[in-house]
């Protein structure tokens, strides 16, 4: 029987679901899958891109863990594609590769002052509070008044973590350095700005409800933002999710406030025009008031307002990163592809190279989209058998020997179990569920049962 040796680069949900779906699919060939990731631990943005106070994420991790724990997919962590393992290496040992590297950088926002000190990308901050090993251990939390630009779930996550008292996060797995940083924050007011109205937000109802339950934080909304146009009223009437969001925010309008030590403000119909500075640092934000344009968008009103702030976070989307030897669409931050088949500069399919997840379609959609996305890509992998690579050495031992010959201290599924138990032990000793290990060297050492420190 023909055997498919498949490499998947990226061990987040997109990569793991692609591997799982192919293992379970009815097919006319045998399959062997190796999953590679530059991080020592699996799960990608589920571990490093979601706020730690979302308990439902544990359910997603549980499902992903079940896939890896079956033992029919090999995981190689702490392997840097393009450095430890190249496209030429993959061609020597596999029939095909699927890139599932996601989108982890912040999309740009081109307004004056955006590069001032105190202006940050939300993705960087999320990586910090989630204990990503490749970001600095400290974060400059010195502002009393902070702005967050964006009306999606990432914006809410950032705003909530900034406003929340650090002690209320001890029930989560936040690392010790993150707790200490947030504990010392002097923040009193967090302002979230969106260009459109409250009926056009990208928050989920669950995220919004959670916001209203944060201890000792008043949620402040403004009556001027709820003079709804016909399109907004129609959206509320026809979409259950929008209806729930509208109901929650209208409840906040009547809720007494002023007693909490911190405030989280939601501003709508507000377009950022300029980040104002003083001595090279963020000192304010100039917004233009917008209004519905009758065609589903907004237009400027010519009314400008300045808000005093000392820090700003842009949560206006994620953006993919180019990969060595693989075409890249620098405008959209994705690998150019047709239903997951990677295309060259002449829009021709490149044999053996595929993409799935956010690096394929951009940073949109939830877990359900990731599964259907993977199925589309895999359908082509299966049908493209005649165009698979013909590797020189497709044996499962060959890639292990290659990594060892290069001195790559890779981790495995078994190693992840060691790290998982170690983090749970750290948490138990401190009276918490888990404390996440942050340092890459420590993660690798624990995973491979080497001396720590």
Q: Is 367 annotated as a binding residue?
A: yes
Ligand-binding annotation for 187, yes or no, is: no
291 marked among binding-site residues: no
β-strand 96-99 against 217-221: which pairing, if any?
unpaired
Token match 């001396």: residue? Answer: 451
Query: Is the Cβ–Cβ distance between 152 and 202 less than 8 Å?
Result: yes
236 within 8 A of 228, measured Cβ to Cβ: yes
Q: What is the 3-state secondary structure (H, E, C) of 29-76?
A: CEEEEEEECCCCCCCCHHHHCCCCCCCHHHHHHHHHHHHHHCCCEEEE
The reply to whether 154 sits in an annotated binding site is yes
Mind giving me the DSSP string for 384-430? TGGGS---S---HHHHHHHHHHTT---B-HHHHHHHHHHHHHHHHHT
Residue 156 annotated in ligand binding: no
Identify which of 285, 338, 332, 402 has the alpha carbon closest to the alpha carbon of residue 34: 402
Bridge partners (DSSP) listed for residue 221: 266
Backbone angles phi, psi at 8, to 5 degrees: -120, 125
Q: 14 a known binding residue?
A: yes
Q: What are the DSSP calls for 360-371, one per residue?
A: HH-S---HHHHH
- 331 marked ligand binding residue: no
* CA–CA separation, 187 and 319 (whole Å): 29
Residue 374 CB neighbours (<10 A): 27
Check the annotation: does 366 bind a ligand: yes
Q: How far is CA 185 from CA 146, 170, 265, 383, in A?
A: 11, 16, 18, 55
User: Residue 151, annotated ligand binder?
Assistant: yes
Beta strand pairing call for 73-76 and 96-99: unpaired
What is the β-pairing status of strands 145-149 and 311-314? parallel
340 labelled ligand-binding: no
149 labelled ligand-binding: no
The pair of structure tokens assigned to 26 is 């009815």
Q: How many helices (H) and strands (E) does the chain have?
A: 15, 18
Annotated ligand binding at 206? The verdict is: no
CA 157 – CA 315 distance, rounded (Å): 10
What token pair was written down for 5? 């040796």
207 labeled binding residue:
yes
Closest CA to 436 of 133, 103, 50: 133
Which positions make up the binding site for FAD?
Answer: 14, 45, 358, 365-367
Which positions make up the binding site for NADP(+)?
Answer: 151-154, 195-196, 207, 365
Which positions make up the binding site?
Answer: 14, 45, 151-154, 195-196, 207, 358, 365-367
């Amino acid at each position: 029987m023909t055997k498919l040796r498949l490499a998947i680069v990226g061990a987040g949900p997109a990569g793991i679901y692609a591997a799982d779906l192919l293992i379970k699919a009815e097919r006319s060939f045998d399959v062997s899958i190796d999953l590679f990731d530059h991080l020592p631990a699996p799960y990608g943005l589920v571990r490093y891109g979601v706020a730690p106070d979302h308990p439902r994420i544990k359910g997603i991790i549980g499902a992903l863990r079940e896939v890896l724990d079956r033992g029919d997919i090999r995981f190689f962590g702490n392997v840097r594609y393009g450095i430890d393992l190249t496209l030429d290496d993959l061609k020597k040992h596999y029939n095909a590769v699927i890139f599932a590297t996601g989108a982890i950088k912040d999309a740009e926002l081109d307004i004056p002052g955006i590069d001032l000190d105190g202006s940050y990308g939300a993705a960087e901050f999320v990586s910090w509070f989630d204990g990503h090993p490749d970001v600095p251990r400290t974060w400059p939390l010195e502002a009393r008044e902070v702005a967050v630009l964006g009306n999606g779930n990432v914006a809410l996550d950032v705003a909530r973590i900034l406003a929340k008292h650090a002690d209320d996060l001890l029930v989560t797995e936040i690392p010790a350095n993150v707790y200490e940083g947030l504990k010392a924050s002097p923040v009193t007011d967090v302002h979230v700005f969106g260009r459109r109205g409250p009926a056009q937000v990208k928050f989920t109802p669950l995220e919004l409800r959670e916001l209203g339950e944060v201890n000792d934080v008043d949620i402040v909304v403004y009556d001027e933002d709820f003079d709804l146009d016909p399109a907004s009223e129609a959206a509320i009437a026809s979409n259950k999710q929008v209806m729930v969001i509208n109901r929650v925010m209208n409840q906040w309008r009547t809720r007494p406030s002023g007693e909490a030590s911190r405030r989280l403000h939601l501003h709508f119909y507000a377009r950022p025009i300029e980040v104002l500075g003083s001595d090279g640092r963020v000192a304010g934000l100039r917004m233009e008031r917008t209004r519905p344009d009758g065609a589903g968008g907004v237009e400027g009103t010519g009314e400008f307002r300045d808000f005093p702030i000392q820090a700003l976070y842009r949560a206006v989307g994620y953006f993919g990163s180019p990969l060595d030897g693989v075409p890249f669409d620098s405008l959209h931050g994705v690998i150019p592809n047709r239903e997951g088949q990677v295309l060259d500069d002449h829009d021709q399919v490149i044999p053996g190279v595929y993409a799935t997840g956010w690096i394929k379609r951009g940073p949109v959609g939830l877990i359900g989209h990731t599964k259907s996305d993977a199925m589309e890509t895999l359908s082509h992998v299966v049908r493209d058998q005649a165009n698979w690579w013909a590797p020189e050495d497709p044996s499962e031992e060959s890639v292990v020997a290659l990594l060892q010959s290069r001195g790559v201290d890779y981790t495995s599924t078994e190693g992840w179990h060691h790290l998982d138990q170690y983090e749970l032990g750290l948490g138990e000793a401190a009276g918490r569920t888990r404390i996440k290990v942050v340092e890459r060297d420590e993660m690798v050492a624990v995973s491979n049962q080497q001396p720590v420190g």
